[in-house]
Structure 1
Amino acid sequence: MMPVVVIGNGPVGQTTALLLARWGVPVVLLDGREERDPVGSKAICQQRDVLDIWEAVGAGRRIADEGVTWTTARTYYRNKELFSYALGDAGRSSFPPFVNISQARTEQILDERIAREALIDVRWGHQVVGLRQDANGVTVRCAGGQEVRGAYAVACAGARGDEIRRMLGVSFGGHSFDDRFLICDIRADLPGWAHERRFHFDPSWNPGRQVLIHPCPDSTFRIDWQVPGGYDVAAEEASGALDRRIRAIIGEAPYEIAWKSVYRFQSRVVDRMRAGRVLLAGDCAHLVAPFGARGLNSGVGDAENAAWKLAYVLRGEAGEDLLESYHEERHAAALENLEVTTATMDFLVPQDEKQRKTRLRVLSAAAADPAMAARVDSGRLSEPFWYDTSSLTTPDPARPFAGRPPRGQVPATGPGILLPDVPVSTVDNRRLRELARDGFLVLAVPGTDVTGLGVPALSLAEIEEFGARPGELWLIRPDAYVAAVVTERAALGEALQRALGRVVIPQR
């Protein structure tokens, strides 16, 4: 089997490579850097369902155990708490809603898993300068003159993958925000701060702007301040103003700055996430503001979607048309993330006087008015995208998708929704999603005939927890999404063909 070339050895590229290897697909993993640069916290919030994906390659439990668990998000306005909420779970996942851990440490753990994979060939110092496609594969040319041949490629080259996007002829439309954000990783002993995300609107110690505080391992706290466009961190540090900025939050506790940076956030998405035999993933395909932790988490969703589809095509179990559904599904996910995070940024940084007045009215009333509290936007936290309108999903009239649920909640399980995770005591104490990620799977409640379906099938009492009924056959995709819920065997076969991208069946 020809390898898949993965361009970019950040966490999205690492995840893509590991998942492909799990499917038995050889990978050449390229990166233009000479070695990894483990500096700064960068993407710190790892969502429960992403930890579950990483567990499929042997890394999720370790990342979760080393990270700091948090289950509550608190929001304040002018030092008064407006509300807090906990994050829901439709099943009984073994992972917490979120853990905070530095991107650098996540990358180290994924590197250790990659080192054990004979199917992954890692090549540092290979800057990609050319891409050539033909009917049989992709030729990747590197700056040193090396050429790497693969059946397909996945571009995970990050936010600075401008040359890759140019080579592929894709646009990267969007805009940048004028305000900057100062980020400091601070080591300090701050009792009571270790298991909550805290978001402050207009605190007295950053008037007119916002501050976000996240706990991290080893008594480290990530603090993000919104600062003016012309902000100069070096000048502020030299004058002592940076110390005063930090002291306003943590008081007199001793501290040290482990890392600091100033960012200008962008909202951008490519017009195509598939360009022939090349799929684009992660920040190479989409950039969003970080409020809501939708960057890396969404990139890992890209990686899983790409990996199982490439594996099925390469193994001859699906046609190349299945790859078009990668663009369909993950581009829709990127657009939703763009919509959600842009709405957050418009609330954080109003674009006109009308928006400013609306924000002031909402924040002033939110403490006493639940309806106004629901309109406070400090970032809708990362969640899986729902493929309810995907061409791979067979709709069920009895389970219509009700739309985006309130923040912190999950939708009812049905076609296009990620299967809730529960322990399965009758199958070697494995978990439901673990079973699902072995390939297409049919689930039914006990008493339903599941013999002779042509697809691996299980009768499990546990699936009654999320609404499965006697006589129903639940078709689950290899990424643990529900592809269909049917009651007839003929309909199951049709749904499987649709989920493999072999036929386009009109929506009913």
Structure 2
Amino acid sequence: MVPVVIVGAGPVGTTAALLLARWGVPSIVLDALPGRDRVGSKSICQHRDVLDIWAAVGVGEQVAAEGLTWTTARTYHRGTELFSTTFADRGRSPFPPFVNISQARTEELLDAAVAAQPLVDVRWGHRVTAIEQDADGVTVRCGDEELRAEYALLCAGGRCGELRDQLGVGFPGRSFDDRFLIADLRTDLPGWSHERRFFFDPVWNPGRQVLVHPCPDRMFRIDWQVPADYDLAAERESGALDARVRQIIGDRPYELVWTSVYRFHSRCATRFRVGRVLLAGDAAHLYSPFGARGMNSGVADAENAAWKLAWVLRGLAEPELLESYHVERHAAAQENLQVTSATMDFLVPPDADRAAFRADVLARAVTDPAARAQVDSGRLYEPFWYVDSPLTTPDPQRPFRGRPPRGSVPDPGPGVLVPDVPVGSTRLRALARDGFLLIGGSAPGCASLPLEGEVAEVLGARPGEVWVVRPDAYVAAVVPQEQVPAALARAVGGAVDRTRTAVG
């Protein structure tokens, strides 16, 4: 019996497999496709903290090096810039706030890491038709073939409704009538190569929106909001598509590399854990892309699932720990839905009142700074905060102050990702991802780090505190030394006291 079967070999599934292997847990990854689909940019925008997760499996640095770094997001109404957003770093991360790189290239880099990892077995052309479970394990069926596993991770994308139905998991939400035309084109746009630009009601797409993202190799990704009855083939044939492109780039040479038309959805699974099966990525949630919260949040799902599965499979925690996967990641999904749904309601108002509100806000925002705060062009991805998790020990001296301002990050404290800073020849996040880390204290089986210097400064630490950091680099507790055992027990979901083993 294999420890884990992963259904879906996309970035979320392969990330989970690599992270499990890092903890010494073998997995089999099944995908219905015969191989990779290398066409189109798809999910292009990778956040700093996702690059950090990929760094743990040897991929993050290369994704960052090959991707195009951007640090500013600008928003316009017609021809006027309303505001720009830059992105804070509480510490000194080696990674930029965002890089743009095609999903196909990201998958190539993940595949290379998988090929070098003997604990990961990827099987293409294996369409999973059934997932069943009993007290001892999970049975995964691919046609006439059956696989038995202790646990399964469903990362098969948003169209795995049959498998969700078998698990008794609903997928409520809504779909949007307007379509979005997406084009990858290669050209030169001086001054546009390191910024995300969002346009409300530009003269070249009146009444709707356009988003422009720079990508490596002189590529630009352009998203136009288009009517529900938009016909890409007809526009291409008539020459209107060329005219649409030239309204943005002017009279300069370009190569149209890929086009597609999407309808966006906002949906969330009712359960992220059903017994021995966990749901992750698009199988668990679908968001509109204005905020880059899809694949980024899916990779965060993968890390959360991987360390908890590893702790349970290695006898370091009881199976009840897995329920915290649902609690934490479902809460993250609800936050992402709230943020992206608010964006879509502003971009595509669902009724006359909200359409009038949007028109008024945009008109006033040209001259009124207060109105600019109401303009929603997409709040970009940020890691969720597990302040209400059963694994987190609250600290009354560090109350969570709610969703931070656009472009900001929460103050360090329980439930928040620990800021990254250099520590000797390594860095704080890298140390944290080797297991449970105690900063300023000690406990059997845990790595320890002094609470001093830049580490203490970036945390805003007080004398006598011990910072308990989980294997996914989230702060589980800030407590006195005598309370560390209780905080560690809580952080693994119960009374098991063996909280750490070495990687691999």
Q: Same fold (TM over 0.5)?
A: yes
Q: How does 1:140-289 map to 2 (within 5 A)?
A: 140-143=140-143, 145-289=144-288
Distance of 2:13 and 2:227 partners within structure 1: 34
Letter in 2 for 1:182: L
Q: Does the CA contact (< 8 Å) of 2:154 and 2:278 recur in 1? A: yes
Distance of 1:203 and 1:195 partners within structure 2: 21
Secondary structure in 2 aligned to 1:54?
helix
Letter in 2 for 1:332: A
Secondary structure in 1 aligned to 2:311?
helix
Match of 2:32 in 1: 32
Match of 2:437 in 1: 441
Distance of 2:59 and 2:443 partners within structure 1: 35
Q: Does the CA contact (< 8 Å) of 2:438 and 2:467 recur in 1? A: yes
Q: Does the CA contact (< 8 Å) of 2:443 and 2:485 recur in 1? A: no
How far residue 488 of structure 1 moved from its aligned partner, in angstroms, is 3.7
Distance of 2:35 and 2:132 partners within structure 1: 26
Q: Does the CA contact (< 8 Å) of 1:288 and 1:341 recur in 2? A: yes
Letter in 1 for 2:494: R
Q: C-alpha deviations, 1:146-204, integer Å up to 9, x for none?
A: 21111100000001111221221100001100000000001111121110000000000
Match of 2:57 in 1: 57
Secondary structure in 2 aligned to 1:178?
strand
Distance of 1:345 and 1:236 partners within structure 2: 25
Distance of 1:121 and 1:23 partners within structure 2: 16
Question: Within the alignment, does 1:41 sit opposite 2:37 as a pair?
Answer: no
Question: Within the alignment, does 1:487 sit opposite 2:483 as a pair?
Answer: no
Match of 2:490 in 1: 498
Q: How does 1:47-446 map to 2 (within 5 A)?
A: 47-143=47-143, 145-425=144-424, 429-444=425-440
Letter in 1 for 2:131: L
Q: Aligned pair in 2 of structure 1 residues 451, 293: CA closer, same or farther (>3 Å)?
A: closer
Q: Does the CA contact (< 8 Å) of 1:186 and 1:222 recur in 2? A: yes
How far residue 454 of structure 1 moved from its aligned partner, in angstroms, is 5.2
Secondary structure in 1 aligned to 2:177?
coil
Match of 1:447 in 2: none
How far residue 112 of structure 1 moved from its aligned partner, in angstroms, is 0.2
Distance of 2:119 and 2:470 partners within structure 1: 24
Match of 2:463 in 1: 470
Letter in 2 for 1:193: W
Give me the CA root mean square deviation: 1.2
How far residue 503 of structure 1 moved from its aligned partner, in angstroms, is 5.8
Moved more, 289-298 or 134-143: 134-143
Distance of 1:462 and 1:277 partners within structure 2: 42
Letter in 1 for 2:454: E
Distance of 2:116 and 2:462 partners within structure 1: 42
Secondary structure in 2 aligned to 1:403?
coil
Q: Does the CA contact (< 8 Å) of 1:50 and 1:301 recur in 2? A: yes
Distance of 2:134 and 2:24 partners within structure 1: 24
How far residue 360 of structure 1 moved from its aligned partner, in angstroms, is 1.3
Q: C-alpha deviations, 1:1-37, integer Å up to 9, x for none?
A: 8421000000000101000000100010100111111
Secondary structure in 1 aligned to 2:259?
strand
Question: Within the alignment, does 1:459 sit opposite 2:450 as a pair?
Answer: yes
Distance of 2:50 and 2:445 partners within structure 1: 30
The alignment's TM-score, normalised by the length of structure 2, stands at: 0.97
Moved more, 165-174 or 41-50: 165-174
How far residue 366 of structure 1 moved from its aligned partner, in angstroms, is 1.5
Q: C-alpha deviations, 1:251-308, integer Å up to 9, x for none?
A: 0110111100000000001100001100000000000100000000000000000000
Q: C-alpha deviations, 1:352-403, integer Å up to 9, x for none?
A: 1111111112111223222211111000000000000111000000000000
Secondary structure in 2 aligned to 1:193?
coil
Match of 2:500 in 1: none
Q: C-alpha deviations, 1:397-438, integer Å up to 9, x for none?
A: 00000000111000100000000111112xxx1110000000
Distance of 1:94 and 1:126 partners within structure 2: 38
Secondary structure in 2 aligned to 1:262?
strand
Moved more, 362-371 or 320-329: 362-371
Q: Does the CA contact (< 8 Å) of 1:27 and 1:120 recur in 2? A: yes
Q: C-alpha deviations, 1:293-334, integer Å up to 9, x for none?
A: 000000000000000000000000000000000000000001
Secondary structure in 1 aligned to 2:349?
coil
Distance of 1:462 and 1:439 partners within structure 2: 21
Distance of 1:191 and 1:184 partners within structure 2: 19
Match of 2:501 in 1: none
Identity %: 66
Q: Does the CA contact (< 8 Å) of 1:203 and 1:210 recur in 2? A: yes
Distance of 2:161 and 2:365 partners within structure 1: 42
Distance of 1:7 and 1:154 partners within structure 2: 6
Letter in 1 for 2:15: T
Q: Aligned pair in 2 of structure 1 residues 250, 121: CA closer, same or farther (>3 Å)?
A: same
Consecutive unaligned residues in structure 1, runs of 5 or more: 445-449
How far residue 451 of structure 1 moved from its aligned partner, in angstroms, is 4.8
The alignment's TM-score, normalised by the length of structure 1, stands at: 0.96
